Amino acid sequence: MASCRSEVESVTFKPDQGRYNAGFVAERALNVILVTGGAGFIGANFVLDWLAANGEPVLNLDALTYAGNLENLAALKDDARHVFVRGDITDAALVERLFAEHQPRAVVHFAAESHVDRSILGPQAFLHTNIHGTFVLLEAARKHWLQLQGDARESFRFLHVSTDEVYGSLSSDAPPFAETNPYEPNSPYSASKAASDHLVRAWHHTYGLPVLTTNCSNNYGPFQFPEKLIPLVITRALRGEPLPVYGDGLNVRDWLYVTDHCSAIRRVLQAGRLGETYNVGGWNEKANIEIVRTICGLLDEMRPDAAGPRERLITFVKDRPGHDRRYAIDARKIADELGWRPVETFESGIRRTVRWYLDNAAWVEGVTSGRYQDWMKNNYGDREGQSA
């Protein structure tokens, strides 16, 4: 576990308890941001990106559930700017204490249960973390904000990271989701995120809490847990295992490279209008089957398989319940107001992603534990070999 230092003296957190060891921070850095879920896929990329971009210290609160992994943050092991606490965002006493002791100038809230398939199999955890956890954070942030004075109070921000799935499903000819689209969530996951979005909005309009919300499209890139489509296909294709594709494979998503997402969040935190929502997308609509075939082609190029082209492994399986047909993000608002646009094309981003997984086989092996294999069997075991 990394040690966590202030400007004055060292304090170490116990990773198994989320509590301080002996010691007291007599002084703290003038500026620090609280990041929740900062050991997960997007959160870890954001922490790494944030420290590389501006160096402002990060207080990182993560429960280290199945998708949270400190190996994602190995580069920060001895970095005094990164303070890690293992803890649950639903633990009100812990959250309030962290606000009191570290006085963060901003919150960037990633922590969430986030996989639709898991939400179908076990929705309760999604309601607990995504709804109750967001409530706990909002209340702690509100109490903290109310006791701030002057510029500290004026500059405080609570940035809530959400998803395009709250908007529901689009037909093939419908315009992309704009910030004004009505909410029509279709899965336990998206319903729980929609509820959390509404809480954030309510805390702004009722209490005046200075909030910002971002709704992003599908992310991909380094450190993504291999239950999601792109790393799932990469890891299974390398093992010569069947590549499960739901239904006819024509479900469409807008794909956003994770570091582009991180830069968008930084920009919204810096200059976003209070109470506003900003949609963040990559302008890369792709059908799932196109994604799978692209990955197969890249793997065939970068690491040929003696058994033949990997498209032979594609297996169409029974569709999941309530599978949304199409998501697409209209990201003109963030471009027009804040000047943000993605840097990566899908072609450049997917090539970088495949290369990262090939170069980080030890990381993949570390996260594909027995529990993950059990989940894979539970989710796909009765689908493989079935037609849509």
List, for residues 8-17, the tens digit of each pLDDT value.
222 333 333 3
Residue 352 reports pLDDT greater than 90: yes
Residue 204: which pLDDT band, with cuts at 50, 70 and 90? Answer: very high
* Nearest alpha carbon to residue 165 among 151, 184, 142, 181: 184
165 is an active site residue: yes
Please give the mean pLDDT across all residues of the chain: 88
- Return the pLDDT at 68: 85
| Token representation of residue 255 | 């794909």
Residues 6+ away with beta carbon under 8 Å from 367? 69, 71, 225, 226
Closest CA to 84 of 132, 42, 35: 35
Q: Which of 351, 107, 329 is nearest to 222 (CA)?
A: 351
**Would you state the pLDDT for residue 382?**
54
Q: List pLDDT tens digits, range 120-146.
A: 889 999 999 999 999 999 999 999 999
User: How sure is the predictor about 67, in pLDDT bands with cuts at 50, 70 and 90?
Assistant: confident
Is the per-residue pLDDT at 261 higher than 70? yes
pLDDT of 381 reads 56
For residue 369, name the pLDDT band (cuts at 50, 70, 90): low
Task: Find the mean pLDDT for residues 355-381.
Answer: 73
* Per-residue pLDDT at 94 exceeds 60: yes
- Gap between the terminal Cα atoms of the chain: 46
Give CA–CA dist 101/26, Å, rounded: 10
Query: Which amino acid, one-letter code, is at 346?
Result: F
Instruction: Assign domain 3-226+254-284+328-346 one CATH number from 3.40.50.720, 3.40.50.300, 2.60.40.10, 3.40.80.10.
Output: 3.40.50.720
Selecting among 165, 197, 285, 324, the annotated active-site residue is: 165
189 is catalytic: yes
Q: Which pLDDT score is estimated for 366?
A: 84
Average pLDDT over residues 44-59: 96
* pLDDT at position 304: 98
Q: Is the pLDDT of residue 22 over 70?
A: no
pLDDT tens digits along 305-351: 999 999 999 999 998 888 889 999 999 999 999 999 999 999 999 99
Per annotation, catalytic residue among 88, 117, 189, 227: 189
Burial class for 361, CB neighbours closer than 10 Å (0-12, 13-18, 19+): exposed
**pLDDT class of 2 with cuts at 50, 70, 90:** very low
CA angle 280, 218, 278 (to 5 degrees): 15
What pLDDT is recorded for position 10?
Answer: 28
For 312, what's the count of Cα atoms within 13 Å in the CB-facing half-sphere?
10
Q: What is the per-residue pLDDT for 295? A: 98
Catalytic residue list contains 164: yes
Q: Of these residues, 62, 113, 117, 164, which one is catalytic?
A: 164
Specify whether the backbone of 385 is left (phi greater than 0), alpha (psi in -120 to 50) or beta: left
Residues 6+ apart with CB under 8 A from 31: 56, 57, 105
Give me the pLDDT at residue 19, please.
Answer: 32
